[in-house]
A and B are shown apart, each in its own frame.
Chain A
C-alpha cells in the first residue's frame, strides 16, 4: 500500500501520480492522509485501484472517477463524485450539496446525510444515502437510481426525466412533474441489488420504500401548449 501525506506532498503531485497509473498497475491500494478540506482530491482517476482518504475533504473529491474505489473516512464538501463514470465512492460521514451531480455510472454510497441537490442531473449513477437528502435532490435526473433510507427535502425530483427515486422516509414535497409510482417486484429486486451493493444486505426491506419518478408531462411536447412557444 502506498501512503501519501498531503501535509508533505502537494495535491497536484498526488493527482498527477494517480493519473499516471495504468489499468494493470500493481499499486492498487492507496491511502491519503491530512486532506484538511482541500478541493479536488483524487479527481479523474482512471484505474481499478482503491484509495482511502482519512479526514474531511473539500469540493469535488473523486470527481470524474472511472473504475476506482474511493473511500472517504470523513465528510465530503460540495460535488463529491461529480460526473462519476464508473467505480465506487463511499463517504463514511456526511456529504455536502450536489453529491453525485451529473454522474454517468458507478455507485456513490453516503453513510450519513447528503444535503441539497443530491444527484442533480444524474445520468446513470446509482446513489445510496443511508441518512436523508436535502431539497431539490435528483433535480432534472435523467437516468440511474437514487435510494434514500431517511427523508427527502423539498421539491424531490423536480423536472425529472427518467431517473428512479426510492425513499424510505418522508418526502417534504415533490418537484414539478415528479409523482409517486407503484413499487413493482422488479423494482424491489433492483433495490435489493443496490442495497446489497451498499453493504445493507438484509438490513433494509426493499418493500419499505416508496418509488417516485417522472409523470412525463413536462419533457414531452404537448399540442395544447403550442401557444406558449
Chain B
C-alpha cells in the first residue's frame, strides 16, 4: 500500500494555500498508510542562507539549541513545529551549524535546502499533518507520503520523504530489490545513508546523478535501469516536481492538471477537494515515462 500526494502550483495566488491543500490530500490517503507520514514543502528562500530542518525528541528545548548555535558564532533564525525546528542560517555558517547539530546526539538533521522544509513522524497522517501545522504552510510545491511499512521498521527515520541532497527529496510507493548492492556502490561514490531503507537508496541514487550533472529528467530515465523493484516515485527539487512509475506499473498513480496546478495522487480520491478538479485533465501516468514540471 502506501499513499503519495504531490502538488505543484502554477498560479502564484494559490501559494498561501499550498499547505492546506496538501494536508487535505494527505489526510485522504491515511487509509493507505496509517503507520507514519511525512511531507516536504518548498517555501520562501532567504538570500544566501540555507534552511536546516532538525528533529529532536518530544519536548526538545529548541531555544537552547538556538543559543548553542549562537554561542558557536552562527547567526540563526528558527521556527519550531512540534518535534521539528527549521533553522535558517547563512551559507557561510552552514558547516559550523551542521557540526554543532551533529555533536548533539538527541538531534537529527532531517534535510536541508534553500527552500525545502521537511517533516515526518510516526502516527496517523492526518494527525501528523496537524501536529506540524501543515495547513498553515505556504509554498510553490510540496510532496507527501503515508506509509504502510513493509521493508523496514515503523520509525521516524523510516518515514518518507527521504532526502540525501540539498533541496531534493523523494517519496516512494513500492519496494526495491537491489537497494543493498546499490547502497554499497553509492557509499563508494561518497554518499552517506542514515537507514537501511530501500527508498533512501533511491533518493541517494538521484542525488548522485544530479551531483554528476544530470538533469532531473536524465536522472529519472536512468533510474529505470539502475533501480530494480516496483515503485511509483514523486521527486521534489528546488524548482521542480517529477513522477516516475516502474515499467510493470505495479503501483497505482493518478495525475491531474489545470491552468493553476498539477497534482499527483496514488488514488483519485486524494484530489477531489482541489479547486477546479471537476474541469481538470485527469489521467494515469504511463509506465516507465518521466513526467516533469519545472518553475521558471
User: Hey, which bits of chain A sit against chain B, CB under 8 A?
Assistant: 36-38, 55-56, 58-59, 75, 77-78, 93-94, 96-97, 115-116, 134-135
Contact = CB atoms under 8 A, between A and B. Distances in A.
B287 interface: yes
Nearest to A74: B282
B232 to A, nearest CB: 12
Interface string B264-296: 000111111000001000111011000000000
Contact of B249 (A58, A75, A134): A134
Instruction: Please classify how large the interface on chain B is, using the bins under 10, 10 to 19, 20 to 34, 35 or more.
Output: 10 to 19
B283 to A, nearest CB: 7
Contacts of A78: 252
B269 A58 contact: yes
Interface in B127-148: none
Contacts of A56: 268, 282
Contacts, number: 41
A93 B256 CA distance: 14
A135 B283 contact: no
Contact of A116 (B249, B267, B270): B249
A94 B283 contact: yes
Contacts of A97: 249, 252, 284
A75 B272 CA distance: 13
Contacts of A55: 278
Contact of B268 (A37, A134, A135): A37
A135 B287 contact: yes
A75 B271 CA distance: 13
Given A36-B272, A37-B270, 17 more contacts: A36-B269, A37-B267, A37-B268, A37-B269, A37-B272, A38-B269, A56-B268, A56-B282, A75-B268, A75-B282, A77-B252, A77-B268, A94-B284, A96-B284, A97-B249, A97-B284, A134-B286
A116 B269 contact: no
B249 to A, nearest CB: 5
A4 B248 CA distance: 37
Contacts of B252: 77-78, 96-97
A56 B265 CA distance: 14
Nearest to B285: A115
A36 B274 CA distance: 12
Nearest to A135: B287
Given A96-B284, A116-B287, A135 B269 contact: no
Which A-B residue pairs are the 5 nearest by beta carbons? A37-B268, A37-B269, A36-B272, A115-B284, A116-B249
Contacts of B283: 94
Interface in B245-270: 248-249, 252, 267-270
A78 B252 CA distance: 8
A37 B272 CA distance: 7
Contacts of B271: 37
A100 B283 CA distance: 19
Nearest to B273: A36
Contacts of A75: 268, 282
Contacts of A36: 269, 272
Contacts of A38: 269
A209 B227 CA distance: 38
Nearest to B278: A55
A98 B201 CA distance: 31
Nearest to A153: B287
A227 to B, nearest CB: 31
A86 B51 CA distance: 60
Contacts of B287: 116, 134-135
Contacts of B272: 36-37
Contacts of B286: 134
A59 B269 CA distance: 10
